[in-house]
Amino acid sequence: MTSAGLAISPAQRDALSRWLDHLRALKGAAYNTLAAYARDVGQFLDFLGQHHGGTEGLAALTALSQADLRAFMAHLRGREVAPRSVARKLSAVKNFLAFVADQAETDATAALSARGPKYRRKLPRPLSETAAQDIIAVVGDQARAEWVAARDMAIVTLLYGSGLRISEALGLTGRAHPLPDVLRITGKGGKERLVPTLPVTARAVTRYAALCPFELTAEAPLFRGARGGPLNPRLVQKVMEQARLQMGLPATATPHALRHSFATHLLAAGGDLRAIQELLGHASLSTTQAYTAVDAARLMEVYEKAHPRA
């Protein structure tokens, strides 16, 4: 999973592997997260070797300065990497350097004090309550096969009704049918959470299961593709694209927007922010707090329409 950069020394590559193992074992980081970290830190180590004129060992990592990290950020900006991505890469690099310093019992304060670029966080783009409900019906009218239409409706109902990610919905097995009142979901990093299911969601899944031509065994995927194998997430995205175009919705009306809609509509109805954090499986409350900004923005939009400026 580590980078194949030519300017990375064996000692640095070994340190990167140990760090990733540490994140996997103690932090429970997901595979995709680890792969992203490996790419980001591998890119930094590759740059560092070229920046300093050759491969270096671990000693070079413990002697880095703010200037070295600023040079890396300048390198990224020169390649037109977005500020948000630069900040993400820098965060991974600093986490890695802190690990190396801890292992070597050295002080990495100088390098770790480097600040990333400022960027404006993108606010979630939820659908209106009416659009979220309507898109479920539209999705059900698209497929030629009745069981496929029922499957698609069940999935989008789960995304909106329970705030699941696509990967979480498609990760359900036949054991989840019939849907219980509360689902145990394994999310990012292998973290489990309990998510309530609505009667309308349970009915949608029951209808799909009754029409599905494949046996829904306990260990097999609940949602199947046309040939009976696991359903590809891209097909769910395509279904949403078609419904979006039919309804004249913006490009932000994606499957993940249904999860955003779940959270935003709960908050608008008076839901507790901490409870919504638990339902979504966010590790940090600051991630969930983005929905308060969305709610405030919608409130201002309504206000400005009701009270137009002269």
What pLDDT sits at residue 3? 47
Domain extent at residue 209: 129-305
Residues 192 and 88 in one domain: no
Spatial separation of the C-alpha atoms in residues 62 and 301, rounded to whole Å: 51
Q: List the chain residues with pLDDT less than 70.
A: 1-7, 27-28, 53-56, 117-124, 189, 271-273, 281-310
Q: Tell me the per-residue pLDDT of 34-70, one tens digit each, with 9 for 90 and over.
A: 888 999 999 998 898 887 766 667 777 887 888 888 8
What domain count does the chain have? 2
In a domain, 117, yes or no: no
Residues 81 and 150 in one domain: no
Give the active site residues: 165, 188, 256, 259, 282, 291
What pLDDT sits at residue 278? 72
What pLDDT sits at residue 272? 67
Residues 162 and 248 in one domain: yes
CATH code: domain of residue 244: 1.10.443.10
Residues 144 and 227 in one domain: yes
What are the φ/ψ torsions at residue 215 (nearest 5 degrees)? -70, 125
What pLDDT sits at residue 299? 47
Residues 197 and 257 in one domain: yes
DSSP 8-state symbol, 24: I
In a domain, 20, yes or no: yes
What pLDDT sits at residue 24? 83
Q: How far is CA 295 from CA 126, 257, 259, in A?
A: 10, 15, 15
Residues whose CB is less than 8 angstroms from the CB of residue 307 and which lie 6 or more positions away in sequence, other chains included:
none
CATH code: domain of residue 42: 1.10.150
Residues whose CB is less than 8 angstroms from the CB of residue 285 and which lie 6 or more positions away in sequence, other chains included:
273, 274, 277
What pLDDT sits at residue 54? 64
Q: What is the pTM of this model?
A: 0.61
Spatial separation of the C-alpha atoms in residues 11 and 106, rounded to whole Å: 17
- Tokens 């890695």 locate to 96
What pLDDT sits at residue 4? 47
What pLDDT sits at residue 183? 87
Spatial separation of the C-alpha atoms in residues 172 and 65, rounded to whole Å: 47
Residues 100 and 145 in one domain: no
**Mean pLDDT score across all residues of the chain:** 82
Q: At what angle do helices 10-22 and 31-51 cross, to 10 degrees?
A: 150
In a domain, 124, yes or no: no
Token pair of 45, please?
A: 């180590």
